[in-house]
């Protein structure tokens, strides 16, 4: 079994969860040696939560809002650069784009999943010579590696940082240009 990604966000926490966490930390500070019976502790925290004032709850609500924003941004991961070259379709996808309309027209009520299954079966039933035209066409479209190399060489891509790196580089270049202009003006 594969281990979970340690960078994966644990999920957003509710205001109540922040409240319970704070209570548990307080309990540990006051009684470091006493083990916590989770069921009993949770029941007492639930009763206490019901009596907490609105002002105090708002503090935990704010923490939950911040956590939600952090969770969404962590979940979103890195953003794709819209100017990056697009990966070309494989031979199978070229085959699918040709036969999808034919299957859909002969079976108008068929679901997308069922169409995909049919296309997969059709592709698997083709022999190598029947697949070859699609594979050849895909190979002709495969200038992708060259496009990516050109794109990266222009300094517009850093796999880890994406467009943020480009924006930072642009700001740094503009700052350098401004400094050079100021130095020229001072020298005159």
Closest residue by Cα to residue 120 from 89, 90, 95: 95
pLDDT tens digit sequence for 59-79: 888 887 777 665 555 555 566
- State the Cα–Cα distance between residues 76 and 93, nearest whole angstrom: 27
Which region among 54-58, 107-111, 153-157, 162-166 has the lowest average model confidence (pLDDT)?
A: 162-166
pLDDT attached to residue 15: 83
CATH superfamily label, 15-75 = High mobility group box domain (1.10.30.10)
Domain residue spans of the chain: 15-75, 81-154
pLDDT tens digit sequence for 116-174: 999 999 999 999 999 998 888 888 777 767 777 777 777 654 444 444 344 445 445 55
pLDDT attached to residue 76: 55
CATH number of 81-154: 1.10.30.10
pLDDT attached to residue 158: 45
Q: Give the mean model confidence (pLDDT) for residues 88-93.
A: 86
Number of H helices, E strands in the chain: 8, 0
Q: Give the mean model confidence (pLDDT) for residues 32-50.
A: 83
Tokens of 12: 């957003």
């Amino acid at each position: 079994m594969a281990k979970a990604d340690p960078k994966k966000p644990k999920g957003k926490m509710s205001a109540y969860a922040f409240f319970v966490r704070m209570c548990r930390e307080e309990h540990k500070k006051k009684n470091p040696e006493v083990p916590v019976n989770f069921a009993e502790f949770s029941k007492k925290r639930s009763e206490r939560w019901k009596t907490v004032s609105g002002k105090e709850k708002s503090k935990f609500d704010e923490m939950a809002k911040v956590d939600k924003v952090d969770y969404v941004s962590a979940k979103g991961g890195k953003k794709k650069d819209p100017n990056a070259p697009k990966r070309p379709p494989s031979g199978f996808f070229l085959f699918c784009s040709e036969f999808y309309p034919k299957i859909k027209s002969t079976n108008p009520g068929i679901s997308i999943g069922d169409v995909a299954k049919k296309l997969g079966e059709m592709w698997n039933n083709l022999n190598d010579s029947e697949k070859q035209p699609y594979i050849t066409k895909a190979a002709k479209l495969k200038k992708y590696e060259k496009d990516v190399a050109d794109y990266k060489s222009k300094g517009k891509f850093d796999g880890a940082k994406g467009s943020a790196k480009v924006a930072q580089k642009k700001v740094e270049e503009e700052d350098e240009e401004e400094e050079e202009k100021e130095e020229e003006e001072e020298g005159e």
